[in-house]
Amino acid sequence: MSSSVRYSARTDLRRRQGRPEPDPAAQAEGLAALISLAQLLAPRTKRISPPARRTSGVAVIIPARDEGADLGDTLRSLARQTLRPDRIVVVVNNSTDGTADAALSYAATEGPVITDVLEMRGVNRHRKAGALNCGIRYLLRDGVLPPEIGYVLVMDGDTELEPHFLKRARRVIDRDRSLGGVSAACLGKPIQGGTPWRDFLLLVQRIEYGRFAATRLRHNVHTMSGAGSFYRAAALNDLLDVRPDVFEERESNLVEDYETTLALKMLGWRVTSNQGCIAYTDLMPTMRMLFAQRVRWARGTVDEWRRYGWCHATWLSIAGVILSVPETGYELLLGAVLMRAFISRGGYIDYHFLPLAALWSAYQGFSVRHMGWKVVIFEMALIPEAIFNLIRSYWLMRSVVASYLGGKRAWI
Amino acid sequence: MGYTSSGSVILAAAGGTYVVGSLAATVVVLVAGGAAAVILTSRRRRRDRLAIRRQA
């Protein structure tokens, strides 16, 4: 507790833990009475002492800013875990809605997990990284995570975990000692947009997340997802040996999860993802919000590449983007030529291209077959996905240019 | 004139062969790439499933 006060004067501990502190004297009296009663009633059989409560060694940190509507579901998804965390730390980051109240009301109930609520007030220039570090500092003892904390899960305040997430993530990380973290496979929350346009935006995002999770090839993945990252405490302690914070507190750090991933990789740790560790993340219902989110991701990623340079942690991702440039150019050129021929020749279609389109269509449909037949048909139509891909490519290219020309950074 | 006609036929045939050949090559590359992607993603999924199984 003292660590949070020492490191951040702006942080208040609003509640130490969810369960009320028991009175030791009353507890001892009650226990003695129970033992006497049990001795009277128990049959004369071999007595087996109850097993001690097993701890998972997992601590969870949830930075939350204006997540009052979703935070309760997030916390309940943690309570439903088949491997329960030992403690949860909610960092309420300058919220103006009922986030603090939602966290406190959960902490006050007789929940299965000890829940602490920290409240950051005033200016937090380092945004999410600042809130995450606030939660981590709260857990530190003598500058490192104590031995009883073997793993730290970092997740968003609007994300829900599949009930086996923690159990599976711990198995994955325990099998490979070189792993510093296991990232969630993110899927979109099943939310409704309310209008056809918003439904379309939500659908393309759901498809994007679903396909990304199902068609992953890499073991040592590009980045840990901020929506759900399960870290080995030893890896974070390694990081704390070489710098003051796990999440770098720098105003230009727009992608704190990716920066920390790169820092871990530079220390020799690997990170992976697993399709069985599922997190349901929030989707952007409007184009403006989606645009802001993606430009921040892309811009932040490019900025970090420029900081780290071409190295073993970055080269594969940079090469992927370089290869995507001619691919996007080819798509644009092909689309323009076909469109020109179609218009100038009165609806002309070159049937030579149909086999190519059929193959492309088949692969698109096949890659989303686990998402249901409606999504398969949507994907096999090709055009909507092609348009969304072009928009994403435009956002990426714009972010590359902005990074080099020093355009304004924005956070959402 | 006869020479020109023959040349046109040869050019047309060469052009046709080029178009058909390049399309066929593209189809082969796409099929091979698609098959490789399906195989590799299946292997990744299998490894993911193995990684979350209870240890023996």
User: Would you state the pLDDT for residue A20?
Assistant: 44
The Cβ-side half-sphere exposure at B5, using a 13 Å CA radius, reads 2
d(CA A214, CA B37): 11
Q: What is the pLDDT of residues A129-153, one digit of tens each?
A: 999 999 999 999 999 999 999 999 9
What percentage of chain B has pLDDT greater than the value 90? 25
Task: Please tell me whether the interface predicted TM-score (ipTM) of this complex is above 0.85.
Answer: no
Q: What is the pTM of this model?
A: 0.82
pLDDT computed for residue A58 by the predictor: 97
Between CA A267 and CA A12 the distance in angstroms is 33
- How big is chain B, counted in residues? 56
- Binary contact (A172, B26; C-beta < 8 A): no
What Rg value do the Cα atoms of chain A yield, rounded? 25
Which of A18, A82, A84 shows the shortest CA–CA distance to A57? A84
pLDDT score at A341? 85
Shortest Cα distance, chain B CAs vs residue A67, angstroms? 31
Three-state DSSP class for residue A186: strand
Q: How far apart are the first and last CA of chain A?
A: 30
Tell me the C-alpha to C-alpha distance, in Å, between residue B27 and each of A66, A331, B13: 51, 16, 21
Q: Which residues of chain A have pLDDT under 50?
A: 1-10, 16-22, 31-52
Residues of A in contact with B30 (CB under 8 A): 356, 359-360, 363
DSSP, residue by residue, A222-263: S---TTEEEEEHHHHHHHHHHSS-SS---TT-S-HHHHHHHH
Contact A168 B27 (CB under 8 A): no
Q: Crossing angle, helix A99-108 and helix A71-79, to 10 degrees?
A: 30
CA gap A62, A75 in Å, rounded: 9
pLDDT in tens, B5-38: 777 777 777 777 777 777 788 788 888 988 898 8
**Rounded distance between C-alpha atoms, residue A86 and residue A57, angstroms:** 6
Q: Which of A82, A175, A183, A323 to mutate to test the interface with B (most CBs of B within 10 A)?
A: A175
A120 forms beta bridges with: A11, A93
What is the DSSP code (8-state) at residue A221? -
Q: Where are the alpha helices (DSSP H) in A282-372?
A: 287-308, 315-344, 354-367
Tally Cβ neighbours within 10 Å of residue A165.
Answer: 28
- Alpha-carbon span A190 to A288, nearest angstrom: 20
**Contact call for residues A403 and A303 (beta carbons, < 8 A):** yes
Instruction: Please write the tens of the pLDDT for every residue from A248-258.
Output: 999 889 999 99
Which chain A residues touch B35 with a CB distance below 8 Å? none
Q: Quickly list DSSP for chain B.
A: -HHHHHHHHHHHHHHHHHHHHHHHHHHHHHHHHHHHHHHHHHHHHHHHHHHTSPP-
pLDDT for the residue numbered A367:
87
Instruction: Kindly determine whether residue B45 and residue A214, on different chains, have CB atoms separated by under 8 Å.
Output: yes
The dihedral built from the CA positions of residue A28, A33, A37 and A39, taken in this order, carries a sign that is positive
* Amino acid type, A130: G
Identify whether the C-beta of residue A149 lies closer than 8 Å to the C-beta of residue A233: yes
Interatomic CA distance for residues A325 and A320, integer angstroms = 9
Size of interface A-B (CB pairs under 8 A): 53
Tokens of A132: 């995450």
The reported pLDDT for the residue numbered A175 is: 94
Nearest CA in chain A to B43: A217
Are A168 and B52 a contacting pair at CB < 8 A? Answer: yes
